[in-house]
């Protein structure tokens, strides 16, 4: 440090050497007048930039420089160690008061007034300043933490929501690892650096960033499994066209007599259709408008919800027909004894005859049911149907059946659209919520500042 004035580190050491603890007492305990004590109170408030009632290392450096010192980092740490009796890394007023009292005694100039004038050239000491109380505070929004608190936690939420919604399908293990490591590492960083942060605003913003990681994980996972998983899964499964659910189609190969190239011919056999030939089916386009749901064989399985199933058949088939294709749904067929299949995509009653005719002419399609949590219940329903209706379903496949010509690709696009809408909606909601939170903090935390020199 420079030798222009008495070394503050020596002052702190001399207080301890004299046996005077660094604790605040009455002004008379340090030979201070009421005016000098008031000046020290003002100085403490001015240099406590964060308004938390503590002076940290950076604020202490400001004090020493305005006392005429040019401390190195090592010297600054030595001063802090000498003053910081509880080793918290910050000094409160009880540790600041005896130090400044000693400074007043050892320096010839009016040190406090000199510090305040150097801090702010407009500092005025006199009757005009006495018109305001020392503890007065004024409200000034600090826009840096306000904008940071609005945008940074939102960006964290947006990134992790995007990862868990749109990247989990391709990299499930990596996404899970990133989520877990971020949560535990963030918790460790918060715990280790809580005292170093400018409380309470900086810590709260950091906590919001950390808290948004598990929140985005949960919300992104719900969006993935509800909307995007069906889209990704079914998009990668096979599509079959002209499928007869009752009769097996056989493809034969012959050579063209002219060109010699192979010619593939598909014909309908007398054998029943087999579900094992379509295990990878995701989208099915059935052959002809004669394909429908056999409403005489509707079955339900009750397990909290009612799981409904009915065979998809070709109505023109009368003998040895396959029953491996099943239309299914949840809570759409009534209770036992009054079963009526009314699941999404299929209607048994029509408002007018023309509507019924128009419906009968539309293409029949099916989209594979891939919800593993409910598929076992549908399997049990089919077992019931086998026993009640004396039919055989060796390899049952479950579909959402559409008699209204609804395109499976259109249904998949609706899933993707729903996932995108949820994403954009949550992004907007979280951003608005951040603004409201930071507006509340601007009133309670950010804008409450220590009095400036103009306030004295």
Q: What is the tens place of the pLDDT at every residue in 183-241?
A: 999 998 888 776 665 556 778 888 999 999 999 999 999 999 999 999 999 999 999 98
Contact 349, 405 (CB under 8 A): no
pLDDT for the residue numbered 28:
59
Q: Are strands 281-286 and 305-314 parallel, antiparallel or unpaired?
A: unpaired
Q: Answer with the residue of higher pLDDT: 25 or 333.
A: 333
Q: Which residues are within 8 A (CB) of 363 and not within 5 positions of it... i.e. 6 or more apart? A: 285, 286, 289, 405
Q: What number of CA atoms fall less than 13 Å from residue 198's CA on the CB side?
A: 13
Domain spans in the chain, listed from the N-terminal domain onward:
8-136, 143-223+425-446, 238-406
Q: Which residues are within 8 A (CB) of 208 and not within 5 positions of it... i.e. 6 or more apart? A: 149, 153, 434, 437
Q: What number of CA atoms fall less than 13 Å from residue 154's CA on the CB side?
A: 22
* Mean pLDDT, range 14-34, rounded to an integer: 56
pLDDT for the residue numbered 288:
79
* Mean pLDDT, range 417-441, rounded to an integer: 93
Q: Tell whether the model's pLDDT for residue 456 goes beyond 60.
A: no
- 449 falls in which pLDDT band (50, 70, 90)? very low
Share of the chain above pLDDT 90, in %: 33
Q: Tell whether the model's pLDDT for residue 68 goes beyond 80.
A: no
pLDDT for the residue numbered 129:
40
Q: Which CATH class for the 8-136 domain?
A: mainly alpha
Cα 188 to chain center, whole Å?
19
* Mean pLDDT, range 353-357, rounded to an integer: 59
Q: Tell whether the model's pLDDT for residue 292 goes beyond 60.
A: yes
Whether residue 200 is preceded by a cis peptide bond, meaning omega within 30 degrees of 0, is yes
The DSSP code for 91 is: B
Please state the length of the chain.
456
Q: Tell whether the model's pLDDT for residue 284 goes beyond 80.
A: yes
Neighbours of 367 (CB within 10 A): 25
- 455 falls in which pLDDT band (50, 70, 90)? very low
Per residue in 318-349, pLDDT (tens digit) is 787 889 999 999 998 877 656 788 888 887 65
Buried b / exposed e over 329-364, threshold 16 CB at 10 Å, is bbebbeeeeebebbbebbeeeeeeeeeeeeeeeebb
- 10 falls in which pLDDT band (50, 70, 90)? low
pTM score of the predicted model: 0.61
């Amino acid at each position: 440090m420079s030798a222009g004035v008495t070394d503050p580190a020596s002052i702190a050491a001399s207080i301890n050497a004299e046996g005077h603890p660094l604790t605040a007492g009455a002004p008379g305990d340090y030979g201070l007048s009421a005016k000098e004590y008031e000046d020290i109170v003002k100085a403490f408030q001015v240099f406590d930039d964060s308004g938390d009632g503590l002076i940290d290392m950076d604020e202490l450096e400001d004090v020493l420089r305005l006392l005429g010192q040019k401390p190195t980092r090592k010297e600054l740490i030595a001063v802090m160690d000498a003053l910081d009796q509880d080793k918290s890394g910050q000094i409160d007023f009880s540790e600041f008061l005896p130090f400044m009292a000693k400074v007043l005694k050892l320096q010839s100039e009016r040190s406090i007034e000199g510090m305040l004038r150097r801090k702010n050239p407009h500092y005025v000491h006199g009757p005009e300043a006495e018109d305001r109380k020392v503890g007065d505070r004024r409200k000034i929004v600090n826009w840096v933490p306000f904008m940071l608190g609005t945008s940074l936690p939102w960006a964290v939420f947006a990134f992790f929501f995007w990862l868990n919604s749109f990247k989990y399908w391709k990299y499930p293990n990596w996404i899970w690892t990133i989520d877990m490591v971020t949560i535990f590492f963030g918790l460790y960083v918060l715990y280790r650096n809580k005292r170093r942060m400018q409380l309470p605003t900086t810590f709260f913003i950091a906590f919001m960033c950390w808290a948004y990681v598990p929140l985005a994980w949960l919300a992104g996972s719900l969006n993935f499994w509800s909307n995007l998983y069906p889209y990704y899964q079914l998009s990668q499964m096979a599509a079959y066209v002209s499928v007869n659910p009752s009769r097996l189609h056989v493809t034969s190969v012959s050579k063209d007599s002219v060109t010699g190239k192979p010619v593939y011919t598909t014909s309908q056999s007398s054998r029943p259709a087999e579900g094992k030939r379509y295990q990878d089916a995701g989208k099915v386009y059935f052959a002809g408008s004669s394909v429908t749901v056999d409403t005489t064989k509707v079955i339900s399985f009750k397990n909290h919800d009612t799981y409904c199933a009915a065979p998809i058949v070709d109505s023109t088939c009368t003998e040895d027909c396959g029953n491996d294709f099943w239309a299914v749904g949840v809570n759409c067929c009534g209770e036992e004894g009054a079963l009526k299949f009314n699941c999404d995509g299929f209607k048994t009653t029509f408002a007018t005859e023309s509507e019924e005719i128009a419906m009968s002419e539309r293409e029949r399609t099916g989209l594979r049911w891939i919800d593993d949590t409910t598929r076992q219940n549908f399997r049990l329903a089919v077992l019931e149907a086998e026993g009640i209706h004396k039919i055989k379903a060796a390899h049952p496949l479950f579909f959402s059946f559409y008699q209204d010509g609804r395109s499976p690709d259109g249904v998949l696009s609706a899933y993707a659209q729903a996932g995108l809408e949820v994403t954009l909606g949550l992004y907007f909601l979280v951003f608005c919520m951040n603004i409201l939170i930071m507006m509340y903090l601007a009133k309670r935390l950010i804008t409450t500042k220590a009095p400036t020199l103009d306030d004295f």
